[in-house]
Amino acid sequence: MTVGIVGIGLMGGSFAKVLKKYKLANKIFGYDHNINHQKTALELGLVDEICDLECLKKCDLIVLCIPVDGIIAFSKNLVDISQNTTIVDFGSTKELIVNNLPIEIRSSFVAAHPMTGTEKFGPEAAIDSLYEDKIVVLCDVWQNSSYHLEKVTNIFKSIGMRIIQMDAKEHDIHACYMSHLPHAVSYALAKTVMCHENPNAIITLAAGGFRDMSRIAKSSPNMWCDIFRQNRENLLDALNIYESKLAMLKEMLQNEDYDAIHKYMAKANTLHDILK
Site for its own copies in 174-213 (CB under 8 A): 174-175, 177-179, 181-197, 199, 201-213
Q: Cα–Cα distance between 263 and 267 in angstroms, integer?
A: 6
Restricting to residues 233-272, name those near its own copies by CB under 8 A: 235-236, 238-239, 241-243, 245-250, 253-254, 256, 258, 261-262, 264-272
Shorter beta-carbon distance to its own copies: residue 21 or 263:
263
CB 59 within 8 A of CB 85: yes
Restricting to residues 8-67, name those near its own copies by CB under 8 A: none
Give the residue, chosen from 2, 93, 116, 144, that forms a contact with its own copies under the rule CB under 8 A: 116
Binding segment for its own copies (CB under 8 A), chosen from 11-19, 20-28, 37-45, 232-240, is 232-240
Write out the E strands in 1-154: 2-6, 27-31, 49-50, 61-64, 86-89, 109-114, 135-139
CB of 80 to its own copies, least distance (A): 31
Q: Where are the alpha helices (DSSP H) in 125-270?
A: 146-158, 168-175, 181-196, 199-205, 208-215, 221-230, 232-254, 258-269
CB 51 within 8 A of CB 31: yes
Shorter beta-carbon distance to its own copies: residue 85 or 186:
186
145 part of the interface to its own copies, by CB under 8 A:
no
CB of 163 to its own copies, least distance (A): 11
94 part of the interface to its own copies, by CB under 8 A:
no
117 part of the interface to its own copies, by CB under 8 A:
yes
What pairs with residue 135 in β-bridges?
162
Give the residue, chosen from 102, 135, 143, 167, that forms a contact with its own copies under the rule CB under 8 A: 135
Residue type, 40: T
Give the residue, chosen from 137, 149, 161, 168, that forms a contact with its own copies under the rule CB under 8 A: 137
| Proportion of the chain in helix, strand, coil states, percent, rounded to 5 | 60, 15, 30
229 part of the interface to its own copies, by CB under 8 A:
yes
CB of 199 to its own copies, least distance (A): 5
Half-sphere exposure of 39 (CA within 13 A, CB side): 3
Reported as type and span, the H/E element at residue 56 is helix 53-56
Residue 46: Cβ-neighbour burial (10 angstroms; 0-12, 13-18, 19+)? buried
CB 59 within 8 A of CB 4: yes
125 part of the interface to its own copies, by CB under 8 A:
no
Q: Provide the residue count of the chain.
A: 276
CB of 180 to its own copies, least distance (A): 10
CB of 200 to its own copies, least distance (A): 9
Binding segment for its own copies (CB under 8 A), chosen from 27-35, 45-53, 138-146, 229-237, is 229-237
Residue type, 43: E
